[in-house]
Amino acid sequence: MEFSVPIEPDDEGYLGRECPECEKYFKIKGGTGIPDVPGCHCPYCNHVDGHDTFWTKAQIEYAQSVALHEVSRHLLGEMKKMERRPDRNAFISIGITVKGEPTPIARYSERELEERVTCAACTLQYTIYGAFGYCPDCGVHNSQQIACANFDLSLKLLDLAAGAEANVQAKLVENALEDVVSAFDGFGREHCAGLAYKLSFQNIDAARTKLQKEEGFDIGAGVAQDEWDFVCEQFQKRHLLAHKMGIVDEEFVRKTDSRLPVGRKVPIEEADVRSLVKILKTVVDTLYGGVARR
Ligand SMILES: [Zn+2]
Ligand SMILES: [Zn+2]
């Protein structure tokens, strides 16, 4: 006997998927992405295989239970036909009553996931745990896309900050600088996660030197020297905000050749954060295109 059991997507049109290799869960939205794509990429481990190898355990259990339900229902129906009452006039007579229910169906619902992504390369909509992953349809890794989305979000927050009162605005600009640096750091770490050594991109100059030495690759190749110095200074300012309450210290003055007096609060300019984003987008492009993911 063969049964065909339709597996329905959730209310928003997302179908649950589970990688046969790493067994992690994600969802893809039907009708988006590449039409009739033959294979599926696992967003987490990039295992590639046919779509029918990506059923979740809950979906398989459901399909099996539907089949069992049908079989047991059919069987019970056949047995019901054999029911009969005892013959009161007979010397000996046995009645048959059939009782029982078909086996229950194992219903399930798809899970909520943390990050919704629309692939910039093929328009597939998918949801994953965490933030970073390969597109299940085209296999493009989304790290660059996520970095740029975070940069753009910070720019939008700066737009909103423009209407706020002075101290709120100052705080929002500081937050934007911190967010931009951590978005870059998150991207860099993710993109270089397969390298044999750990890299932190919060110290962008040290990361540049390390990659030059180990990979022979320059992440600052697309950026002029004065722009690079500017980027390093903004990263140092972020360091002061995160660790020194935003107060200028001797290390900052030494590293940035700043003329700001030690002990004063470091000024964070909105225009600087915007310029930083612009330059960092170039650095992201360079790193994404230059050092291969492993
Ligand atoms: Zn996987
Ligand atoms: Zn894609």
Whether residue 293 has pLDDT greater than 70: no
Alpha-carbon span 83 to 111, nearest angstrom: 45
Cα-to-centroid distance, 124 and ligand 1 (Å): 18
Q: What count of other Cβ atoms lies within 10 Å of the Cβ of residue 159?
A: 9
Cα-to-centroid distance, 281 and ligand 2 (Å): 20
CA angle 59, 62, 68 (to 5 degrees): 145
Cα-to-centroid distance, 121 and ligand 2 (Å): 5
Burial class (CB in 10 A: 0-12, 13-18, 19+), 163: exposed
Domains of the chain as residue ranges with CATH: 1-141 (no CATH), 143-290 (1.20.120)
Of 92-101, 203-212, 238-247, where does mean pLDDT reach its minimum?
A: 92-101
Cα-to-centroid distance, 27 and ligand 1 (Å): 13
**Beta-bridge partners for 271:** none
Ligand nearest to the backbone CA of 126: 2
Whether residue 94 has pLDDT greater than 90: no
Task: State percent of the chain over pLDDT 90.
Answer: 82
CA of residue 176 relative to chain centroid, distance? 22
* DSSP letter assigned to residue 234: H
One-letter amino acid at 145 equals Q
Cα-to-centroid distance, 131 and ligand 2 (Å): 15
HSE-CB at 149 with a 13 A cutoff on CA atoms is: 15
The pLDDT score that the predictor gives to residue 257 is 85
Both tokens of 234, joined, read 């903004």
Ligand nearest to the backbone CA of 123: 2
Whether residue 254 has pLDDT greater than 80: yes
Phi and psi based region of residue 246 (left: phi greater than 0; alpha: psi -120 to 50; beta: remaining): left
